[in-house]
Amino acid sequence: MSFNMCTNLYVEDVKAEADFFEAIGFYVVSRQKVGGAETILLAPTRKGNARLQVWPIELIRQMSPEVADSKPSILFTITDGIEAMRTKVLTQGLTTSTITKRGENLTFNFESPSGTYFAFMQI
């Protein structure tokens, strides 16, 4: 048995969200049409088991209105290169915090095009 994790992001502009994550190094795993709308599956590594599925929020409001306005709180961990990752995020022109130390780890947070906040932590 293997486990995989997929977090659903419900956004107004699927393409803008996917383009942002691609620009900071994520890979497009697949693109699908569901109910006439496109959904995009992304992953931080080609062979990893953690993924983000970006859905159009209007479709989710029709299919599952009880979850449409849910926003995840996601922390991505990396082993090195937090300064380079922050630079990648900054070049996208979005809100990004400074790198701070949390215990023994370095971290920063950022806002994606949909207004969802995420964080990176170097462990």
At residue 102, does pLDDT exceed 80? yes
Nearest one of 86, 76, 73, 62 to 120, comparing CA atoms:
76
Sketch the domain layout of the chain as residue ranges. 5-122
Q: Would you state the pLDDT for residue 12?
A: 97
Give CA–CA dist 96/92, Å, rounded.
Answer: 10
**Residue 91 carries which side chain, given as an amino acid letter?**
T
Instruction: Please report which residue ranges of 38-123 form alpha helices under DSSP H.
Output: 57-63, 82-90
When the candidates are 3.40.1360.10, 3.40.50.10800, 1.10.150.530, 3.10.180.10, the CATH number that belongs to 5-122 is 3.10.180.10
Q: Would you state the pLDDT for residue 47?
A: 85
